[in-house]
Amino acid sequence: MSAFVWLTILTALRILARNRMRAGLTMLGIVIGVAAVIAMVSIGEGAKQAVQAQIATMGTNVIIIFPGVTSASGVRGSQGSAVTLTVSDALDLKKRIPLLSDTGWAKRDVMQIVYGNRNWNGTVNGVSPSYLTIRDWSFTSGDPFTQTDVESAARVALIGQTIVGNLFEPGEEPVGAVIRIKNVPFRVIGVLAPKGQSAQGSDQDDVIFIPFSTAERKVFGTSFIGSVGAMFGSTDQVEDLPMAAEQIREVLRARHRLQAEQEDDFTIRTQVDIGKVQEGTSETLTMMLFAIASVSLLVGGIGIMNILLVSVTERTREIGVRMAVGAKRRHIVMQFLIEAMTLSLVGGVLGIILGVTGAKLTTLIAGWPTIISGNVILLAFFFSLVVGLFFGLYPANKASRLNPIEALRYE
């Protein structure tokens, strides 16, 4: 049997080589389908990983709590417009929820920052020291501020890479320099390591951190002392995030004395939730790719079926001879199935080569990250095999049912 299969594969390859143009056109559907799948899955995977890396820049196992919205006569304000969250909320959460390893808080505003004769409008954040650890900020030079800085409302600042780039000359050391935020002088004590874009696309490095107490008393001019723009918590294990979020909700509802029928006056987001939104996006993309792949493989398969039907007609006499010398039905079926699968497999391999090349070129030319996984290649290979098998069945069966007498007489 194996000699039979080998010879049949050899024969199939010879027939392909003989009709290169025809075989090439037949395989085109499979080639394009497989190449498109490989290229797009590679680009999709690359994008997914880039997004996951962005989400990771948020910190590790982070929960973010925003204040609710103001509501006047049914008209709602923007997210965080209410001043329902306070520093004491954050401190109480840490005390009452053991799952939380830490809590922090922050308040932000866009303000003009001046150094020498340069200025820049950057996001100034008054933050608790714990905020920096929760969000995994690290430093290229200098140090974070200390509890003493917080207690004394010291005028010290940590600045991000975008601020450095806009206020300082290349090579100039920002640590020790005095910058002015809303005309208040601040000493730069640390430069933050870059984080790049956030998952939402904003520049995370266009940022200045100053102690929360300093911001409240000397920069923002808040009317509600102790109110925060957002609170942050973290857990040791990622699995604890949903449970911690639920406990935060209960504690905050109790602290805010909300009745059962009242809505939350805050919003809780965990890193897992944000990840899910991104996953949803990539799932949509995957479904789309799947649809494209299905259509092109279907079209490719029909092409193979068509050419095989032509081949069965052209080679009717040969089939008759084979039957006369003792080919059984299964021999004829096998012969045409192997020819179909050879066509689709060669097409699949060409598609894989084209797809991988396409993905690599995308990285090279457009600079998009691509990830070529072995699984996708295996899957493409497997699919082209299945397409050949499926669409070869009908012509193969048709050939095997020829009457040998009529086939031998066929002109």
Partner 1 sequence: MMSALIQCEDVWKIYRVGDMEVQALRGLSLTIEQGEFVAIMGSSGSGKSTLMNILGCLDQPTKGRYRLNGIEASNLKPDQLAGIRNQQIGFVFQSFNLIPRTSALENAQLPLFYRGLSLKEQRAQAAAALGRVGLQGREHHYPTQLSGGQQQRVAIARALVTSPSLLLADEPTGNLDTQSSQEIMRILDQLNRDEGITIILVTHEVDIAAYAAREIVIKDGQVLSDRLTKTRPTPSPVGG
Q: Does 322 bind partner 1 (CB under 8 A)?
A: yes
Report the SS3 class of residue 86.
strand
Q: Which of 323, 341, 376, 399 binds partner 1 (CB under 8 A)?
A: 323
Q: At closest approach, how far in Å is the CB of 405 from partner 1? A: 5
Report the SS3 class of residue 410.
coil
Phi, psi angle pair for 87, to nearest 5° = -60, -35
Crossing angle of helices 374-400 and 20-56, in 10° steps, is 150
Stretch that binds partner 1, among 34-42, 160-168, 274-282, 403-411 (CB under 8 A): 403-411
Output 321 or 386, the one with its CB closest to partner 1. 321
Output 1 or 225, the one with its CB closest to partner 1. 1
Q: Does 20 bind partner 1 (CB under 8 A)?
A: no
Nearest to 293 by CA among 112, 43, 31: 31
Q: Does 269 bind partner 1 (CB under 8 A)?
A: no
Q: Does 318 bind partner 1 (CB under 8 A)?
A: yes
Q: Does 360 bind partner 1 (CB under 8 A)?
A: no
Q: Does 324 bind partner 1 (CB under 8 A)?
A: yes
Distance CA 246, CA 106 (A): 21
Q: At closest approach, how far in Å is the CB of 8 from partner 1? A: 9
Q: Does 310 bind partner 1 (CB under 8 A)?
A: no
Q: How many CB atoms lie within 10 A of CB 102?
A: 17
Output 269 or 329, the one with its CB closest to partner 1. 329
Distance CA 147, CA 321 (A): 95
Total of residues contacting partner 1 (CB under 8 A): 24
Q: Which of 142, 320, 347, 351 binds partner 1 (CB under 8 A)?
A: 320
Q: Where are the beta strands (DSSP E) in 137-257?
A: 139-142, 156-159, 178-181, 184-192, 207-211, 230-235
Q: Which of 21, 75, 225, 325 binds partner 1 (CB under 8 A)?
A: 325
Say which residues have a Cβ less than 8 Å from residue 207's Cβ, sequence separation at least 6: 122, 123, 125, 159, 160, 162, 163, 192
Residues near partner 1, by CB under 8 A? 1, 3-4, 6-7, 14, 18, 317-318, 320-331, 404-405, 408
